[in-house]
Chain A
Amino acid sequence: AQSVSQHNHHVILSEAASLELGCNYSYGGTVNLFWYVQYPGQHLQLLLKYFSGDPLVKGIKGFEAEFIKSKFSFNLRKPSVQWSDTAEYFCAVNVDNYGQNFVFGPGTRLSVLP
C-alpha cells in the first residue's frame, strides 16, 4: 500500500526565513500530489496540486512545490515566510485518478516567530 512520509514533525522559523518541507511517497505508478494547509482551529484547505506537466507547481500565498519523480518527493517551499503561515501542512497522494484513495502524511507543524 502506498504511504506518505513528511520529514519534520515541527519546524520553527523566524519571519522572512525560507521554508522547505519534505514529503516522500511510496508508490511506483502515476500519482497525483497535493499539499494541504490547516490553520489553527480550521479545516484543511488545498494549497497546491500536481497532476502532470511542469514539475514545479505554484500554489496560493506564494507557496510552490517541486515533483521529483526519481526521488519520489514533492517538497513544499516558500522563499519568505510570514507569521500568518503558522499552520500544519499535510502532503497527500492520490493514486486513483478519479478522486479516491487519498493518503495523507502525518503533517508538519510550522511555527513562524514574529
Chain B
Amino acid sequence: DAGVIQSPRHEVTEMGQEVTLRCKLISGHNSLFWYRQTMMRGLELLIYFNNNVPIDDSGMPEDRFSAKMPNASFSTLKIQPSEPRDSAVYFCASSSRELNSPLHFGNGTRLTVT
C-alpha cells in the first residue's frame, strides 16, 4: 500500500499566482480531508469529502480556496490568487469505509508564497 500521496512536496510561488495541490487517496478509502498546519494556528480542517461529496467546507478560509474530488481516488486544493498568509503545510488525509477507520495522512505540501 503506497499510502496517501501528495504532490508537490514543496511549492514556492509569488503572491497572486494560482497554486494547485494534489492528493491521491489510499485505494478503497472513501473519505478525504484537507488540513492546513501553521505555527500560529496549529492543525486546521479545511474541508472533507465523503464518497466524492463535500460534507463540511466551513474551514475553507475564503473564496480564494476551492477543493474538488473529480473521482473517488483523487483530490485537488486550489488557491487563486495566493497570498503570503497562505504559507503553510497542507496535509491530505483519508479514511476507509471500515468501521472505526483511523485517518491516514500524506506527507504534506509545504507552500511558501512570497
Number of residues in A with C-beta < 8 Å to the partner? 22
Q: Are A97 and B99 in contact (CB under 8 A)?
A: yes
Contact assessment for A107 and B107 in the assembled complex, using a CB-CB cutoff below 8 Å: no
Contact residues of B: prevailing secondary structure? strand
Q: Cα distance A80–B70 when bound, in Å? A: 47
**Which of B14-22, B42-50, B71-79, B80-88 interfaces with chain A?**
B42-50
Residue count of chain B within 8 Å CB distance of chain A: 26
Residues on B with beta carbons closer than 8 Å to the beta carbon of A42: 107
Residue of A whose beta carbon sits closest to that of B56: A101
Chain B residues with Cβ below 8 Å from A100 are 31, 48, 50, 55, 95
Besides the contacts A44-B43, A98-B97, A99-B30, what 11 more A-B pairs have beta carbons closer than 8 Å? A34-B102, A43-B107, A45-B105, A46-B102, A49-B102, A99-B31, A99-B97, A99-B100, A99-B103, A100-B48, A104-B45
Contacts from A to B (Cβ < 8 Å): 32, 34, 36, 42-46, 49, 51, 90, 92, 94, 97-102, 104, 106-107
